Structures are given as C-alpha cells and as structure tokens.
Amino acid sequence: MVGRNAARSRRAALTALGALVLTALPGAASAAPPPAPGPLPTATQTLGADRPSAQVLAALVRDLRLTPEQAADRLANEAEAGTRAGLLRNTLGERFGGAWVSGPGAEELTVATTDAADKAAIEAQGARAAVVRRNLGELSEVQRRLDAAAARTDTARTPVWYVDVKTNRVVVRAASQAAATDFAKAAGVPAGDLGVRVEQGRPRVLADLVGGDAYYIDGQARCSIGFSVTKDQQQGFATAGHCGKPGSTTVGADQKTAQGTFQASSFPGKDMAWVQTNADWTATPAVKGENNQKVEIAGSVEALVGASVCRSGSTTGWHCGTVQQHDTSVSYAEGTVDGLTETTVCAEPGDSGGPYVSGSQAQGTTSGGSGDCTSGGTTFYQPINATLGDFGLTLRTTSATAGAPATEEDTADDAWVAGRVYQAGVTVTRAGVTYRCLQNHQAQGAWSPESTPALWQRA
C-alpha cells in the first residue's frame, strides 16, 4: 500500500507529467511544449477525488476490507492512474495495448505496449510496462468478429466474451472447450487466438416481477433509477433498456405516484434507456448510498480496469467491488448485449438500472449478472457515457456550474463543447489551441481543457 506521503508526491508529480511524456517515448509525433503559466491543478483536485464521499469510503472499507485511510488513498491513486494512462495512451498511439491498476490500494499502474523500446520510458512515468503481441485495436477487431457471429449463432453455451487487457487476449466464457471452439470457428477466429474459461451458468437480466421499491413499469416490473439526466428542458433519469420500452409508463416506489415515460430504450444490442419524468420530480446530482445517505456525482470519467466501483440498487442497496473488464459482450436469454463492463459487485433482481459510481464519477447502470449478494456474484453495467451520447442526454452533476452548455450548431465540429461525450484520443480546439482527450467522459461546464489536465493534454 502506498503511504499518504507517497500518494501526495505522486499527485504533485502529475502537474509536470504531460510535458515529460511528449519527449520520452520513441516514435511520437513532435509537438510544441505546453505553456507553463503556473502550477496546474492535480488530477484529484480537478475531479473531486481529494474530497471522497463518506458513503463511498465506508462501503470500500466494508467490501474491500480497507482502513479509511487506505480507501481514501485508493481513490486518489485510481484518479491519478487514469490521467497517467491517458497521457501514455496518446503518446503510444497504435502501440498501446491497454492499461490497468492493481494492488490493494490500486498503487500500481500497468501500461501495455507492442514495442519493447517503450518500456524504459513507461517505467520513467511511474508505471509498469508490459510488452504484448497485440495492440488494443487488434484485440477489439477479434471481439467485433465474435459479436458478428453471435448475431447468427446460438450463444447460450458461450454467454460472455471480452477483451482482457491483462492477458492480451480476447476471452470466451463457455460451458465447454468444444463450445468455445465452435464459436471461434463461426466467427472465423483461430481457436488458438482466444482464451477460454470453462464455467457453467448464464448471466441474467436483473428485472423483478414482484413487489418492492424504486420505480415500477406498466404496473408489472420493478427496476432501479440510475442517474439524473436532462435533455434540453426535460428532466429524467437513465436506466436499463430491458426495464421498459418507449412509451412504457412508470410510477414511484409507492406504486401510486405518477413518475414518467420511457422516451428511448435499446435492448438487446445495448442495455440503455431514459425516462422523462413529470414536473413533480426534480433531477439531482445524487445517488442513494448506505442508510439512504446521498453520494454526489461530479462527472462521468471512466475508471480503469482494476479500479474500485460501488453500486446502488433497490433490492440489495449499496455494495462495492472492482472493475474486471471493459467492452464485454454478454449473451442473455433475450439476446446479446455488447460494450458492457464486468465487475465483482453483487446484485439481485430489481437492482437493474441502478447506478455504478467510482469515487464521485458516474460509471454506468446495472444490466445483469449471476450469483447474489449472499454468496457473491458477477455483475455487468452499461457504461453511462454511451447512454448519454446515444440519446443526447446531459448528466446532472455537481460540476455543472458554468451555465448552460453551448449548442453544437453554434460551434465548429472540432470545438470543445460542454455536454458532449469525448473518447480518449480525440482532439478538440479551445481558444485556438488543440487538446487531446485523456479519459472517456462527458464534458462538464467547469471542465474546460485548459483547466482540466486530468482529462486533456495540449497537443
């Protein structure tokens, strides 16, 4: 575990990291050094990791068996690692093979590259280098071929497949080795290029057709509210797509109070939806933690593999675990869903649609899984940034303090705009300066590129 002094030293070192990465790695495009108007805010200050929620800390102490100090240090380490991984990803370009954190305090960042010549420079930035055979793009292409095959074959015996950056392989979870081999053949992927985990059972969506709380759909199913969102002047919340179809109506936890209507829903393929609520409901930047206490949401910066994550649900409440895989495909009985994130957090029927939070950052909404909160289990969530981007929604956050976002019609295509969802590696312009995105997120009004080095690097 990294001590508090070491963690503070690393936070301070982040202010100079961007300039170091630009010159340290071979083969990187040349660029003018960024200006130095004065000390830059650290990643933890910018994204709120220096002010962790008491609810998140308490749950990490309970579920990950940490002390309060260890939990606070872990959140700071995770936030800093995300920025360092983004800087190195941008510099490595096509050589980048993925990044993850490990250790009880997320104190070790590993960055994978396909070129051994990058190793010393990666290590110079405080990360462990892993030299791998395939870059992230090549792994993603293998998964896309499996996704395409899933649309024309029965995947009941191969229900989960994902890019595993730690092993530099696409992994298939199958009921047998033969089932995985058949799936690979249908996709035109050499069986030797896949990792196989043989295990029984199939994930299920977590809707519930019996009573409870949270919100109810068409007087039948029960799900959990995800994150508050807005669209123009409309208010509502994001949730799971399997909870309802466009036009389905919802009522509150008392099963009486009129609440809203599903405006858009996607399932299978994706598992996302949003509900527009009536004037009696107000969107807030909060989710429910332990004992009905509130956890405030500051943004939607995507957490690395290995990072801690906590979930709130109407059946089982507030539980924590870690991110295992991004970009996971899951074959439910109802159909295949792509682009999910796998976690070690438990969940049960009725928790569907509920929010996942890493620190103060929204991560996604509960889709499905296996196991329960008594014996433990695996749960998948739909990343919230995809929901926001697909449906044109704005996450309600504590960071949205800079007024209404600019409209896309009034700006150039490459201009930075609050409310847009940005992926790592894309470039934007702001006041005539070009910046490159370090971490997937929805832009908040207070997070302009020049003031947020945790998210943007001057190109």
User: Does the pLDDT at position 151 exceed 70?
Assistant: yes
Structure tokens at 197: 């985990």
H helices of 3-50, in order, are: 4-13, 17-24, 43-47
User: Does the pLDDT at position 378 exceed 60?
Assistant: yes
Quote the distance between the C-alpha of residue 234 and its chain's center.
25
56-105 confidence digits (pLDDT tens):
999 999 999 999 999 999 999 999 999 999 999 999 999 999 999 999 99
Query: Where in the chain are all domains bearing CATH 2.40.10.10?
Result: 204-394
What Cα–Cα distance (Å) separates residue 238 from each residue in 43, 129, 254, 330, 396? 27, 38, 20, 20, 11
Q: What's residue 403's pLDDT?
A: 42
CB atoms within 10 A of CB 410: 8
Q: What's residue 432's pLDDT?
A: 92
CATH number, span 402-458:
2.10.10.20
> Tokens 């499996």 identify what position?
146
> Tokens 């405030």 identify what position?
296
H helices of 64-206, in order, are: 68-92, 119-124, 136-150, 177-187
Structure tokens at 43: 């990643």
Query: Where in the chain are all domains bearing CATH 3.30.300.50?
Result: 137-198
- What residues act catalytically? 242, 271, 352
Q: Which CATH architecture has domain 137-198?
A: 2-Layer Sandwich (3.30)
261 near 250, Cβ under 8 Å?
A: yes
Longest dimension (CA), the chain: 64
Highest average pLDDT, of 12-16, 198-202, 299-303, comes from 299-303
Query: Where in the chain are all domains bearing CATH 2.10.10.20?
Result: 402-458
User: Does the pLDDT at position 129 exceed 90?
Assistant: yes
Structure tokens at 436: 């490159």
CATH number, span 204-394:
2.40.10.10
Highest average pLDDT, of 3-7, 83-87, 216-220, comes from 83-87
Ranges 29-33, 368-372, 411-415, 436-440: which has the least confidence: 29-33
| Mean pLDDT along residues 375-398 | 96
| Mean pLDDT along residues 286-306 | 91
| Mean pLDDT along residues 185-193 | 90
Instruction: Give percent above pLDDT 90 in the chain.
Output: 71
Q: What's residue 49's pLDDT?
A: 63
Under the banding of pLDDT at 50, 70 and 90, the label for residue 242 is very high
